[in-house]
Structure 1
């Protein structure tokens, strides 16, 4: 999976203290974004004359991110995580004994210096997270997706080591996720898993391909590829004597909620599904809405902005060659986005970085698939029980619009065993909140609303 260049020893007088040895170990630093400090830790290993690295962001309690390549030559460290949308480039300063460079992610560029050793930060209080020893059975597991030739690592929790139990598979949202769906200092899947297992429902949760202990290439995977990982999880559960194979269910959050119907329609072994903050509209429509909702700059003409956004999507989803699409999209962004940012006095280098980030995101296989995927088409085919929950203050996935899409698809398909609930004052991660905005997630002590947890478990227990 990883193509990593060999370590090159450079015998220069000024840097011989570093270059005469490898750079294995932890390298950490703090970058500033406005008034916020973000801690990064890179664990670098030297194996067979090559470097491998794993990135953690303790500030957000994110770990196990595996960049594609790590190279060190002539005093320059490059950690290329194009598979997850990041890159770090730094040069070694022998006087300061640190790498000094730039961390890039999407259109964001941060100054980041790395020193040898790790940094610990104070953990925010998360009272819902369980503390070991747990009052149930827990096992670390690994299963294969033979078609993709990858191994997926996860955790299986069961009410008891002995017996036969219903089991649900948790399916994470978009972006590289670990088995706990760690995000903004919270571990929602850990809390959900703990709650369900205590209610008598087994849970399998796993690291996304290429993340944590799982192998594979996340950056070139699509929603359909992720659905095949879940199908592999179902196959694995069927080999376990503790699993009631007639009661295997799927619980998908956000993108996981559009993966779940795709999986269920390609398996005879799914008994029910739970959609959490799932969409029910065409990917293109969601993308247009989010591009306006989360845009970080003002525009004078919203109609023209939407028209140009749709034009960009049309280019991305066309049947032209990759080279033609990239050339057309580059020209379009330069004609469309550059004048807007220039009028706002954004420096040219920042504009170039923003457009570069937009291009990388737009051209990923995931984006091209997602924009053309309509979850309603798969939801319409479902003949199994469905629970759909959305938060009324979800700013990422509008509850009413998307639940209307889900409801209409179920009615059109003739499914009579479904329940759709909009939960008051909950955000995209089902936290009780004030605004629902993304910058609020980390500030909230609660990880998962007890109301939502009870709604999920009670419905599942009625269906098994």
Structure 2
């Protein structure tokens, strides 16, 4: 196992309720792109939204736990599109147009992300694009695993992703679920990372200690990794604490802080 961290606080939420369409969608092109999990013969469905002008980068957004549809993290998607970056999001299993049964496990998130990325890379019209993965929370863990599997990914963004416990990198051997024979420590994985990666989190994240995580990553001195820890932001990169279920903020989880949005888009633009 990669983590011994509980995600019970968010595992049962139906995130498909929070999805919103892109504002001014007519300013962009969109294309429905389905892909198949060939191991289970399950079809999943997603949408690629891209600028009408030339673009060079695509971000595949992977949410954390819960039932997520292709409209999740709409705030990030809108900001990326405004900055000339294409976005691909897909419905979780059993949600929207995707087949299969709803599954909250990280293994399923990993499998689906793997097949989504693999499918995009095979599309001739996208062969000249840089394709990266942005994962939030458990979705970030999935992006790490898919990278470790050997599938080509051009860049990674880990958003509020717990990779440490008690001030140390997760101690268990990192055992790729896609390639079980690959075993490497979390520290070694980040130490040897060969592609650009942004790690972004807030100081008020109650799921892990973002400050300690930042220190651990900085100590690796890997120039491919950039770390941004923003004061006062919670697990969803919003201002305030993670006690959002008791407030109106629960209905606006994906409307993240403008500074965080700017950090993400600015970083992608320069790689």
In structure 2, do the counterparts of structure 1 residues 233 and 401 end up closer, same or farther at CA, with 3 Å as the change threshold? same
- Alignment RMSD (CA, Å): 3.3
> Are the aligned partners of 1:145 and 1:151 in contact in 2 as well (CA < 8 Å)?
yes
Greater relative contact order structure (CA < 8 Å, 6+ sep): 2
Does 1:421 pair with 2:228?
Answer: yes
Does 1:141 pair with 2:33?
Answer: yes
Does 1:458 pair with 2:266?
Answer: yes
Q: 1:276 Cα shift?
A: 0.3
Does 1:195 pair with 2:79?
Answer: yes
Q: Which residue of 1 aligns with 2:137?
A: 254
Q: Which residue of 2 aligns with 1:243?
A: 126
CA-to-aligned-CA distance 1:359-400 (integer Å, 9 cap, x gap)? xxxxxxx9xxxxxx9755643442111100001112233312
Distance between the aligned counterparts of 1:254 and 1:240, measured in 2?
28
Distance between the aligned counterparts of 1:207 and 1:260, measured in 2?
17
Q: Which runs of 5+ in 1 are unaligned?
A: 1-55, 65-125, 182-188, 287-365, 367-372
CA-to-aligned-CA distance 1:406-460 (integer Å, 9 cap, x gap)? 445xx1xx63211111112211111123x34233432769811111111101101
Distance between the aligned counterparts of 1:445 and 1:459, measured in 2?
22
Q: 1:165 Cα shift?
A: 2.7
Match of 2:243 among 437, 453, 459: 437
In structure 2, do the counterparts of structure 1 residues 213 and 386 end up closer, same or farther at CA, with 3 Å as the change threshold? same
Match of 1:175 among 55, 63, 66: 66
Q: Secondary structure at the match of 1:394?
A: coil
Distance between the aligned counterparts of 1:437 and 1:374, measured in 2?
32
Does 1:448 pair with 2:256?
Answer: yes
Distance between the aligned counterparts of 2:218 and 2:83, measured in 1?
28
Whose radius of gyration is greater, 1 or 2? Answer: 1
Q: How does 1:19-168 map to 2 (within 5 A)?
A: 62=17, 130-160=22-52, 163=54, 165-168=56-59
Q: 1:61 Cα shift?
A: 6.2
Distance between the aligned counterparts of 1:262 and 1:233, measured in 2?
14
Match of 1:207 among 91, 94, 105: 91
- TM-score scaled to structure 1, two decimals? 0.47
Q: 1:143 Cα shift?
A: 1.1
Q: Which residue of 1 aligns with 2:173?
A: none
Distance between the aligned counterparts of 2:127 and 2:268, measured in 1?
14
CA-to-aligned-CA distance 1:136-185 (integer Å, 9 cap, x gap)? 1122221112123211111111112x74531111111023322233xxxx
CA-to-aligned-CA distance 1:221-272 (integer Å, 9 cap, x gap)? 7423422211211222123344254511110000111111111122342111
> Are the aligned partners of 1:432 and 1:446 in contact in 2 as well (CA < 8 Å)?
no
> Are the aligned partners of 1:277 and 1:428 in contact in 2 as well (CA < 8 Å)?
yes
Q: How does 1:374-413 map to 2 (within 5 A)?
A: 376=187, 378-407=189-218, 411=220
Q: Secondary structure at the match of 1:393?
A: coil
Q: Secondary structure at the match of 2:213?
A: helix
Q: Secondary structure at the match of 2:26?
A: coil
> Are the aligned partners of 1:250 and 1:260 in contact in 2 as well (CA < 8 Å)?
yes
> Are the aligned partners of 2:202 and 2:235 in contact in 1 as well (CA < 8 Å)?
yes
In structure 2, do the counterparts of structure 1 residues 265 and 246 end up closer, same or farther at CA, with 3 Å as the change threshold? farther
Q: Secondary structure at the match of 1:191?
A: helix
In structure 2, do the counterparts of structure 1 residues 456 and 280 end up closer, same or farther at CA, with 3 Å as the change threshold? same
Q: Secondary structure at the match of 1:442?
A: helix
Q: Which has the higher strand share?
A: 1
Q: Which runs of 5+ in 2 are unaligned?
A: 1-12, 170-176, 178-183
> Are the aligned partners of 2:75 and 2:254 in contact in 1 as well (CA < 8 Å)?
no
> Are the aligned partners of 2:70 and 2:91 in contact in 1 as well (CA < 8 Å)?
yes
- TM-score scaled to structure 2, two decimals? 0.77
> Are the aligned partners of 1:279 and 1:375 in contact in 2 as well (CA < 8 Å)?
no
